[in-house]
Structure 1
Amino acid sequence: MLKMYLFLKKLPQTSSLIFYGLALFWRCDPLKTSILFFITLLNALLGPLLVWLSAEVIDEISRSPFELSSWNTLVWAAIAYIGFTLIVDALQPVAEMQKRLLTAKLEAYLDEQLMKKAVSIPDIAAFEDASFHTNTQIIRYNEYFVTMWVTIVSQTLSGIVMIAAGSLMIGMFAPWVPILFLILAVPKLYWEAKLNNATFEGRKEVQDLRRRAEYYAGVPLIPETAGEVKMYNLVPFFKTSYRNTSMKLLHTLSNDQKKLALYQLFWSVLQSLATGAVLIYIVRQALQGAVSVGDLLLFIGAAVQFNEGINEMFAAFAIGARETRHLGNIHSFLHSKNSMENGETMLPDQKSEGFAFDHVLFSYDGDKTVLDIEKLDIPLNKTTVLVGENGSGKSTLIKLLLRYFDPNQGAIFYNGMPLKAYDIEHFRSHATAVFQDFLKYEMTLKHNIGMGDISSCGDLSKIESASMFGGVDLFLHKLENGYETELGRLFGGRNLSGGEWQRVAISRAFMRDESADILIFDEPSSALDVFIEEEIFNKLNRLTQGKTVIIVSHRLSTARFADHIVFLEKGKVAETGTHDELIKNQAQYANLYRLQAEKYV
């Protein structure tokens, strides 16, 4: 009883999700939704109508012979029966077509909603959460769910009509029969919903297994990993890992299907026994002359329609209880509140200060501190270089400056205002960056560079200017179609070397050289030789007026060109100053500089 109470208690929430699902249909395509539901209702009405007509035809035949020339009631009933049968047959492929089209539209609509949600998330913490990727995969690879949900809604509408029509026809002979069938259906609904919920393929543990299996299967097949996979002969390892994971997934799904099969067998037998008992009762009535042959056929047909309606509607409800869980995941994800709050202040045109850190503490997991900065200034109108060994917190500091994360404690200021006060989109529109893990877009060279300022993606003169700054013009003559050359292997384009890709990324960043007040470069020259590196940093030093230029580098030779150096060690600021000042200090920076310089002596 408690379980039944809990089940009924959840009905309002389930109902709200069902209405949300119906709203999704309407939003993605009102016309196709209307057509599909109209055809579904019409089909559901025609079934009971054909049963009634067939009963009328049989009764008329038993009363008078069939004469086509007389155009009596029998002839009209027969013609109507044939006509409605043709309509049912004609509507079936139309309904299937509309269902497929609506499924495709709903898939596209959900993908758009997912992209809209991704845009609305201001920080990147969510994107580094494993559950985020599980949720996005559930939504993106949603063909099964969307098809099922279209079917569920259609079946529910059809089932309601068939139950109502069947009840009316059966009620003329035995009003207690619909009540009997409903009494049997209610516990079936409860247990089917409970079992379908427990065996739901969209549940987290199943999706995690699917995602892991896809990862193991995909690693040996993508160009980025092909070299290392072959070098270390990793295909057997990934093949074994894929087999083990897929077998575990198959075992889980197999157990689910066994439970469902046993349950369905039990209720099918029980329902068949009840239907058989009812048929024995009505046949006895017919043998005693209480009902006509047509009435007997009408009763049997109505009972079949009623049971089909119950099976359709309650199966839809039972599966729907499972699928609404999926729908609930979609709703919760798409309507989840962002953890990072947006400010309202817009950046002024004139800046008077750069960045300032005030007692900033930050950790990714809330446990291990990655940054612990009591005081730090990154000045305006100067080039600041962040240096330090791997793991010292350089890249994390950059993420805080761009407000991809907020500090756990303390505050970061820019132009005298806390970063939290600024409108995030407006703030980032006045910044540009080259990241250590920059993207290689599978697009033309023009688009690869133009992505830095999407509004100027078609401005070839601006793209050419940016490419000269980044050094793309030095290898442009090698590309057969110039800026229209397709890059990357995914669509059969040309691949570039690591250094060439890095120049493309630098050029992309300089699409905003005029509008950006904050220029950030995270290891921008790791794949470049020292001569090109020096050339790029000389160009950067000429762009500092009115701007804050920040460079992250593991090469201390880079710091020689800087106005200001910040040396980080284990997440703390160890030293700040110019190159000459830090060399004179004879501390960590000077020691590390000598170690690196010895490699070239």
Structure 2
Amino acid sequence: MNDFRVWFADYANALFRSLPLLWQAAPREMIFLIAVTLLQGILPAISVWITKLVVDTVAVALTSGRELGYAVLIPLVLGWVGALLLESLLYPWILALQGNLNDKLTAHISLLLMRKADNFADLSRFEDSLFYDELQLLQQQVAYKPLGLLENLVELSRSFVTLIVIVGLLVPLAFWIPLVIAIATIPQIVVSSQYGKAIWLTLFENSPQARRMEYYTSLMLTDSYAKEIRLFQLSSFFIERYLQAFQSLHQTMRYLRGKQAFWSSTLAILSTLGNGFAFYWVVRQAFRGNFSPGSVLLFVQSLTYFQNNLERFVANWVELFENILYMQQFFNFLDSPIPMQISIPGEKVPMPIRSGILFEKVDFYYPDNRLALQDISFTIYPGQTVAIVGENGAGKTTLVKLLTRLYDPTQGCILVDGIDLRNLNLQQWRQQIAGVFQDFGHYALTLGENIALGNLAALESPDILRYAIEKADITTLVDHFPTREDTPLGKQFGGTELSGGQWQKLALARAFVRREAQILLLDEPTAALDPRSEYDLYRRFIELAEGKTTILITHRLASVRMADRILVMKAGHLIEDGTHQELLQLGGEYTTLWNMQAQHYGISE
């Protein structure tokens, strides 16, 4: 019993929290929708009542032998036709209102999802597979679950109004009949709701399988993988993997849906028997002369309306239950705590930074408890160019993520002019950083917008945009296009597709457009560049880094010789720190890496 109370309380809470969303999304449409839904719910009873009056009037006229006058007949006919016409006219308007309201509701919920996700200032939630499964499920179903919620509420309201009005017609004839039919339907509602909950929970628990299905579909249907899939003949492999994920998900869902259908149809027999008994009683009363012909017709039509609307009510209640379970997950997501504690408003960022950035005994573990960094201590001084080198997985990029506060250290701290980074105003701090990461974004926007994403003020300032274009050495590329900075990019919307090196230069321009930033982060900035472009970039490196504290992460050691200091990482530890010449004289890990690349590329000290 306690479990039922908890379940019902959670269900009711989600339902009552969902209703304000409808109002917030489209208050004007909701007012009209409520009005026409109530009117549409009353109209069947009006039609039944007018039909009763017509039949009784005709029966009295035939029995008495009097002629039925137009004064009596025409108002009844006009009333019946008017009710029928109004019901027909309302339907398309309700569809239009629902469509408009659903558009706004979907956008409203999507915005709430995006804004909540934006509140997660770090990356920890996005690298948690359970959280990502939940977020993907919410995102995938946002286009039709809110619509289902809206349609269910409209249908439930309409059916409920019709049921109440029909009960009002039936009670004077036999008060117990609506009660019997309703009681016979309750088990069907309860059982259907329980199985609806089980189906939703199973879908949620199996969301990784659903995500795998979507992933394998994207592999087969997007251009990014088309070459390898055809060259390596991988289509059968991925289709088989899709089928495996589908079977795993479908078998459980099919079993639960079958059980739901079996019990719903079995319990529907109980409801039908209740209707049969009521119909038998009405026929018996009519033969005894207790009911007029109009009353019999009213009873039969009302019983039909009552049964149909009760079935519709049950069906929409079950669907509403499934949609409310989605809304529960949605509200759980909105209510989820923010893992990174943000100081609001936080201390002001030093401008300029004077004593430097100190990593003090920093440890970091990823959410899955993998050790990424251990006992890291060093200082980056203002205006200094620091290169961080090491093999893959050494912890180089993790240092950058900590510096940008995409993560907080598990132990230790990062100090900026003696102030703990966690106490600084986060927005101000990130505004002081310009950077290019390995996995930079390819945005389906114009060329100028792709650059201005680094500093949105550049959208209104051609001078800032042109400065970044020149710094990234893409003037020729931009001027090649007839529409220059207004050239749409990316295949998604029919824009121009750039090469990997051109996209990377665009990402560099996105960093340089943030002219006032004190810190420049370059994480493998030349990974997609050809040798000539890489040479040109590093030849101009001193100019690019002028006036900024620069942190360069790279595998290509030939490019780090101009750095003021080089930090050598290995397996999450800082093992060497010095200039290029100092590290070569040390004869340690850096020397080993340098000699390997020197032999391969034919470079000298």
When normalised by structure 1's length, the TM-score is 0.94
Post-superposition CA distance 1:76-99 (Å, at most 9, x none) = 223211111110111112112222
- 1:63 and 2:60 equivalent? yes
Number of the residue aligned with 1:84: 83
Equivalent residues in 2 for 1:56-455, closer than 5 Å:
56-64=53-61, 69-72=69-72, 74-141=73-140, 142-200=142-200, 203-343=203-343, 344-455=346-457
C-alpha distance 481-460 of structure 1, shift in aligned 2 (>3 A): same
Q: CA deviation at 1:58?
A: 1.0
Deviation, structure 1 residue 523 = 0.6
Deviation at 1:402, TM superposition (A): 0.5
**Is contact 2:106–2:146 with CA below 8 Å preserved after alignment?**
yes
Distance in 1, Cα, partners of 2:458 & 2:173: 76
Against the structure 1 CA distance between its residues 250 and 430, is the aligned structure 2 distance closer, same or farther, given a 3 Å change threshold?
A: same
282-291 or 534-543, larger mean C-alpha shift: 534-543
Report sequence identity in percent: 29
Q: Find out whether 1:577 has 2:578 as its counterpart.
A: yes
Moved more, 236-245 or 49-58: 236-245
Is 1:47–2:44 an aligned residue pair?
yes
- Specify the code of the residue in structure 2 equivalent to 1:396: T
Q: What CA deviation, in whole Å up to 9, does each residue of 1:180-227 have, x standing for no partner?
A: 123222222211110111223883145333321121111132222222
Instruction: Tell me the amino acid that sits aligned with residue 259 of structure 2.
Output: K
**TM-fit CA distance, 1:594:** 1.8
Task: Give yes or no for contact 1:159–1:311 (8 Å, CA) kept in 2.
Answer: no
2:7 to 3, 7, 10: 10
Moved more, 588-597 or 133-142: 133-142
1:17–1:67 CA distance, 2 compared to 1 (3 A): farther
CA distance in 1, matches of 2:106, 2:188: 31
Contact 1:567 1:589 in 2 (8 A): yes
| 2:20 aligned with 1:23 | yes
Q: Is the 8 A contact 1:357 1:373 kept in 2?
A: no
Q: Could you state the TM-score of these two structures normalised by the residue count of structure 2?
A: 0.93
Give CA-to-partner distance per residue, 1:460-495, whole Å, 9 cap, x none.
222221111111124445445433333333333333
The alpha carbon displacement at 1:280 in A equals 0.6
Partner of 2:501: 499
Using the alignment, how far apart are the partners of 1:186 and 1:308 within structure 2? Answer: 15
Aligned residue pair count: 596
Displacement of 1:157 after TM fit? 1.2
CA distance in 1, matches of 2:348, 2:312: 57
Opposite residue 235 of structure 1, the aligned amino acid is S
Q: Which amino acid aligns with 1:571?
A: G
Give the CA deviation at 1:247. 4.1
8 Å CA contact 1:192–1:319 kept in 2: the answer is no
Structure 1: stretches of 5+ with no match in the other structure: none
* Aligned AA (2:528): A
Name which of structure 1's ranges 139-148 and 558-567 shifts more when overlaid on structure 2.
Answer: 139-148
Give the direction of change, closer, same or farther, for the CA distance of 1:373–1:90 in structure 2 (3 Å limit).
Answer: same
Contact kept? 1:450, 1:458, Cα under 8 Å: no
Q: Is the 8 A contact 1:59 1:292 kept in 2?
A: yes
Q: Which stretch of structure 1 is more off in the superposition, 62-71 or 260-269?
A: 62-71
Deviations along 1:472-520, one digit per CA (max 9) or x if unpaired, are: 124445445433333333333333232222111111110002x211211
Q: Which runs of 5+ in 2 are unaligned?
A: none
Give, in angstroms, the shift of residue 296 of structure 1.
1.6
Distance 1:42 1:570 in 2: 71
Partners of 2:323 and 2:444 lie apart in 1 by 36
Q: CA deviation at 1:395?
A: 0.6
Offset at residue 566 of structure 1 (A): 0.8
Q: Could you say what secondary structure the match of 1:54 adopts?
A: helix
Q: Secondary structure at the match of 2:291?
A: coil
Quick one: distance in 1 between partners of 2:533 and 2:144?
52
Quote the Cα distance in structure 2 between the aligned partners of 1:206 and 1:582: 52
Amino acid at match of 2:71: W
2:520 is paired with a residue whose SS is strand
Rounded Cα–Cα distance in structure 1 between residues aligned with 2:371 and 2:224: 32
